Amino acid sequence: MALLFRAIIIIAIIILIYALIKYIFNPKRKLELAHEKRDFYFLDDKQNVRKNFSLTYKGVMFEGEKFLGTTEEAFEVISVSMWPKNIDRLKGLDRKDFEFIEREILSEYPHASVEWKSPVKEFLRKTEK
């Protein structure tokens, strides 16, 4: 009976350690941690084109939708549509911040064009002039 009880305790400890390791290395947790620290973090499943990606920069969470198309050599992501999840948090961001975000997206998807949705699109048009 004592041997069975020890085996159950060991199995429970192993399961607990496994759950803890999974929690620590969870990419969504890393995204939320970077969001709280106001750092940059890019969370994407490059193998799944249908799945949107998320990124955080200076405390603002953005979401991007990928669109597949053809290039001269292969099928690639050719278009990315971006929008902020919370418009109120855009306060303080300037054109250079959005250019940085675009460079980071283009480093992951070099054949893509980045299109911003409202209100960022209007902001970038005003600052171009």
Confidence at residue 107, expressed as pLDDT on a 0 to 100 scale: 92
Q: Which residues 6+ apart lie within 8 Å of 71 measured at CB?
A: 78, 111
Taking the mean position of all CA atoms in its chain, how far away is CA 114? 15
Taking the mean position of all CA atoms in its chain, how far away is CA 90? 17
Confidence at residue 40, expressed as pLDDT on a 0 to 100 scale: 94
Confidence at residue 38, expressed as pLDDT on a 0 to 100 scale: 92
Confidence at residue 104, expressed as pLDDT on a 0 to 100 scale: 93
The two tokens of residue 50 are: 């249908």
Alpha-carbon distance of 118 to 13, in angstroms, equals 50
Query: What is the DSSP annotation of 37-67?
Result: HT--EEE--TT-TTS-EEEEETTEEEEEEEE
Alpha-carbon distance of 40 to 93, in angstroms, equals 13
The two tokens of residue 108 are: 């992951």
Confidence at residue 16, expressed as pLDDT on a 0 to 100 scale: 96
Query: Whole-model pTM?
Result: 0.77
Q: What is the pLDDT along the chain (129 residues), one digit of tens a residue?
A: 788 899 999 999 999 999 999 988 898 999 999 999 999 999 998 888 889 999 999 999 999 999 988 888 888 888 999 999 988 888 888 889 999 999 999 999 998 999 999 888 888 888 765
Confidence at residue 84, expressed as pLDDT on a 0 to 100 scale: 93
The two tokens of residue 30 are: 């890393």
